[in-house]
Amino acid sequence: MIFEMPDTSTAKVSKSLVSIREEGGAVALGRVLTLVISTAPGQEEDAIAAANEASREHPMRVIVVSVPRESTNIANRLDAEIRVGGDAGASEVVILRAFGEVGSDERGLVTGLLLPDTPVVVWWPNEAPPVVSQSPLGLMAQCRITDAGSSPQPMDRLGELSVAYSPGDADFAWTRITPWRTQLAAALDQPPHETITGVSLAMSSDSPSGQMLAAWLSLRLGVDVSIQLTNHASDGGSIHRVVLTRASGDIVLTRINHKVARIEQPGQPTHDISFSRRSLRDCLAEELRRLDPDVVYGDVVTRGLPLVSKA
């Protein structure tokens, strides 16, 4: 069900939420967190769809704050929309479209709608403040999620992440490489346990995830990473191949397409493995599984990225 509330206030929205729950028999006791999504008009639906799917694993209240990036002829107005039931997955979604001075206080808009005594996660699916931990919404959150890949200048955004990192920050450029990290770590767990003497990585020139992977490998293996750049992403994604060099032969992990990768190791048969590209839902659900600071991510952005020369 969708309830439209044009030209309203957050107080009225809060009362409507209570009324909707009482009339429908729904309760908020099963909600484990509040997810605040900060975005702009026309960019809400993909993020809402991902949150709805992730809510089946993490029941939550979703508050979408949609504020125009540029001035409009609409002044000082708040339009709201409440979605429950089949239109909200296992969550309840509140969309706040704020114009004029109303939109200048994002924290004030959401404070009265937060679930009591539950963690607050803020997600910027598109552009984000340079220092999210010091932004109005970031100051109230235990976890702050950004996406360097959706930034107009993704590689420049990596530099901002490195300089401005604060415990609790997370970025989908990191989350997207979980399958790569998992598969490479599994390969190195198998004998022979030899020292890695070199690493090469083929990736597209505008891939923040590729840069993150290079930083992780350099930091963990203690070797320089040779990066081979292409002008664009392939059908499979922006990271194409990783080669780990050791005395007995190379470990080669190659993405074949958006669903399959190939692992080649000396003395073993070549294997094709399931290697699907990660969706927004996958990335969001992973980040919501752990709301404490990701120490490894913190090390990679603060110490690993400076080890990797930027393209």
Q: Which residues, at least 6 apart from 192, have a Cβ–Cβ distance to it below 8 Å?
A: 246, 248
- For 198-227, b/e burial (b = at least 16 CB within 10 A) is ebbbbbbebbbbbbbbbbbbbbbbebebeb
pLDDT at residue number 72: 73
pLDDT at residue number 94: 97
User: Is the per-residue pLDDT at 14 higher than 70?
Assistant: yes
107 class by beta-carbon count within 10 Å (0-12 exposed, 13-18 middle, 19+ buried): middle
* Residue ranges covered by each domain of the chain: 2-171, 178-274
Q: Which residues, at least 6 apart from 93, have a Cβ–Cβ distance to it below 8 Å?
A: 48, 51, 52, 62, 64, 81, 82, 83, 84, 87
pLDDT at residue number 29: 52
Minimum mean pLDDT among 27-36, 73-82, 95-104, 254-263: which range?
Answer: 27-36
d(CA 82, CA 108): 18
Top-confidence residue, 73 or 267: 267
Question: What is the pLDDT of the chain when averaged over all its residues?
Answer: 92
Helices (H) and strands (E) in the chain, counts: 9, 14
Start-to-end CA span in the chain (Å): 48
d(CA 158, CA 148): 7
Question: Hey, how many other C-beta atoms are within 10 angstroms of the C-beta on 27?
Answer: 9
d(CA 65, CA 286): 22
pLDDT at residue number 311: 41
The predicted model gives 206-220 an average pLDDT of 96
Per residue in 122-154, pLDDT tens? Answer: 999 999 999 999 999 999 999 999 999 999 999
Token pair listed for 233:
């992403």
pLDDT at residue number 26: 54
Q: Are strands 198-204 and 60-66 parallel, antiparallel or unpaired?
A: unpaired
What architecture (CATH level 2) is domain 178-274? 3-Layer(aba) Sandwich (3.40)
